[in-house]
Every structure is written in C-alpha cells, then in structure tokens.
Structure 1
Amino acid sequence: MTAPDPAAGGASGLRRAGRRRDQLIALGWLVGVWNLLWGDFSWGNLLGGVLIGVAVLLFFPLPPISFGGRVRPRALLVLAVTFVAELVSASVRVAAIAVRPGYRPRSAIVAVRLRVRTDLNLALTAELLSLVPGTLILETDRDAGVLYVHVLDVRGPADLTVGRDRVLAVEERVVRTIGSADELRLLTTDPRNQEAP
C-alpha cells in the first residue's frame, strides 16, 4: 500500500479553492445584474439575486476555464488601441456601404482555424471580432478550434485572404496579451498548413 502524495492533494485543493473563488465571483456578478435589472438595490432584491444566482450556478454550471498565462500591460494597450481603431474604421466603412445608393455588397463565410485552441482564446477572439461592424461569428467548432466568420463586402479571393488574416491578427493580439509561453510559441505555426475543417 502506497502513501498518498501530499503534493497531488495540495494541487487538487488549490484547484477546488480556485473553482470556489470563481463561483463566488460569478455569484457576485449575477446578484449585481439581478439588482440592475430590477433597478432598485433592496434587501428583497439582494436575497432574490442570491437565490437566482445560486440556482443558475447549480443547474447550469459553466466548464472551468484554465488560465495559464499572465496579463501583459503593453500588449493589452496595443490590443485596446488596435480594437478602437478597427472599430472606428469598420463603422465608417459599413456606414459608407449603407448609404451608397444601389450598391449591394457581397458577403462570404470564412472558416479560420485558430493556432491556440483554448476556450479562453476562442471566446475572446470571437467576442472582439463580433464587436466590430462588418464581421460576425456564425459558428464555432470548439474541438477543432475553428471560427466561422461572416465577412461583409467581399469582392474577390483577395478579400477572403484579408478576412482570414484579420482573424489571425486578432487572435495573435489576444494571445500576446494573456497567453502563456507555450501559447506564444504556437503563434509561429502556420494554420494554413493544418488540416482544413
């Protein structure tokens, strides 16, 4: 009979403590949103929010999202500034398309395989893309790490390549902001060399 490894028990305990902390944070957000929806912070709404929040966390548990990286302030600044610049330029472009008389833009759906296939990277990349006018995430393949992106105003194959490269550029900025060292190394791989979905 072998003795249990104390290091393994310690790591398991740390994961449980981290999971409980994440659940408490989620509960706090749910209670806050509940009170904002009612428009009144009262004891009744607070208690109702706690009950609803606990029920949501018990009956609809979210899968744990592992985070092995660290936040890099300089890369976060680059991500934020680039996002705002893309938001402004895409808004102007979509507005110009909308007011152009008789113009019917063509659109396309592009499948883009991400290089870093973590849930966090997939979610953040998809969110940043969806917030910019002219692109929309239609579907994600979580297992394969593929985003299916609707791209507006496609005139030819070159625009498809530009759309695909734009998705990979957003992914790169996300990974450079919060990725681990292993995830940063994955950015050097060419996703076009991988199997197509």
Structure 2
Amino acid sequence: MTPAEPTEPPNPPLSRTARRRNRIVAMTFLVIVWVLLWGTFSWANVISGLVVAAILLAVFPLPPVTFAGRVHPWGALRFLLRFLRDLVVASVQIAWLALRPRHIPRSAIIAVKLRVNSDLNLTLTAEALSLVPGSLILEADRNTGTLFIHVINVDSLAEVEKFRHEVLALEARIIAAIGSPEELRQVRAGSTPPPPVDLEGATT
C-alpha cells in the first residue's frame, strides 16, 4: 500500500502580500460605497471615506477575503455604466410609485443562489443590489452563496423570475470586472434552479 500523498489544506494561510492586497481591495470598495451613498464625488468625500474605511477595518476586522482575480478595465467600465443606469431607472420607478397613493405595491422575498460562491462575490453583489432603490438584502448565506432579497413592486411570478435573472446578470458583470478565469467559466457554465418564492399577501 502506497502512502497517501500530502494534501494542501483547504484554506492555507495568506501571505503578508496577499493580506495587504485584500485590505487595499476592501478599502477601495468601502470608499466607493461611501461616495455613492453621499451621491457626490469630491475630495472631502473620498478622504472621509478613507478614514471611515480604515476605522471599520480596524475596529470590525472581517474574515480574510481572497481576491483570486484581477481587474478587467473593459468589464469594470461596463459594470459601472450599467450600475449607474440601473440606479437612475430604479430611482424614477420608486418616485413614480410614491406619486400613486392609491396603488399598493406588492413585495416579494426572493432567494437567488449565485454561481460563484465566494465571500467577495457575495459581498459585492449584495452591496450593488442594496444601493439600487427597490431592493434590500435580508440575509446572505455564505455556505450556499445565496442572497435573500426583499423586492418592492412585484406583481407576478414572471416579474420574480425577471428579477432573479437581473441579479444573475449583475453577478456576471461583477465577475467580468474582477473575476478570475475559473470564476468566469463558472458564470458561463453555471445554471441555477428556480428558488421558492414568498409573495407578501399572497393566498395559500
């Protein structure tokens, strides 16, 4: 009987360079979220975002998130342009709902299983969804890579499926912007079965 070959631990410790790179990536995205929340790009917002991000990473240290890919400029530009478009369209739709006092929109809680199960992809997809008016992340399951999202103004199962496909399309744009070749293959080849849907106010 031949001795078993040594196997590499599933989560090898990160090198100092990898930890520094992950902190830079985390701080960069925290600053981007900070500027987007203020709605104005200025040096004051960027500097204050750096200060807030540094405090958050120091006071509330996150588990190490491995960044296995690299930044793809064309994919990043496509993601940014589509995100800004979705932000404007969703803001107009929510404003229109507010101007219709007699219309009571229905809501849904939708579970979407992402094709790339990584902490970074789960976090970035959840952040991008939360910044767009009309959707709110209720829970994120790290074990299965599933997001549970509360969505407003959903009136049919067809609209539920449409939103699910939009979330997966958003994930694909994020992976196209910063994903590794393996993650890109997972997105292209992955398929997700439809999850159970809970429509608020629906009869059983």
Is TM-score (shorter-chain normalized) higher than 0.5? yes
Corresponding residue of 2:160: 160
Q: Percent identity?
A: 46
For 1:89, the equivalent position in structure 2 comes to: 89
Across the two proteins, how many residue pairs are aligned to each other?
167
Letter in 2 for 1:141: D
In structure 2, runs of 5+ residues without a counterpart are 1-7, 35-43, 45-50, 197-204
Q: What amino acid does structure 2 have at the position aligned with 1:189?
A: G
Q: State the Cα deviation string for residues 33-59 of structure 1 (Å, max 9, x = none).
A: 9xx8xxxxxxxxxxxx9xx95x973x7
Do the aligned partners of 2:22 and 2:67 also contact (CA within 8 Å) in 1? Answer: no
Distance 1:163 1:23 in 2: 32
The alpha-carbon deviation at position 16 of structure 1 amounts to: 2.6
User: Per-residue deviation at 1:191?
Assistant: 1.3
The structure where helix makes up a greater share of residues is 1
In the alignment, the residues of structure 1 paired with residue 153 and residue 26 of structure 2 have an alpha-carbon distance, to the nearest angstrom, of 39
Partner of 1:43: none
Secondary structure, counterpart of 1:163 in structure 2:
helix
Please state whether the residue corresponding to 1:75 is helix, strand or coil.
helix
> Which residue is 1:69 aligned to?
69
Matched, 1:79 2:79: yes
Unaligned segments of structure 1, at least 5 residues: 1-7, 37-48
Partner residue, 1:140: 140
| Mapped partners of 2:63, 2:152: distance in 1 | 33
Matches within 5 A, 1:5-154: 15-19=15-19, 57=58, 60-154=60-154
* Superposition deviation, residue 68 in structure 1: 1.1
The structure-2 alpha-carbon separation of the partners of 1:90 and 1:25, relative to structure 1 and needing over 3 Å to count, comes to closer
SS state of the match for residue 125, structure 1?
helix
- Give the residue type in structure 1 aligned to 2:89: S
Q: Give the Cα separation in 1 of the matches to 2:106 and 2:134.
A: 11
Shift of 1:63: 1.1
Deviation above 6 Å: which 4+ runs of structure 1? 24-27
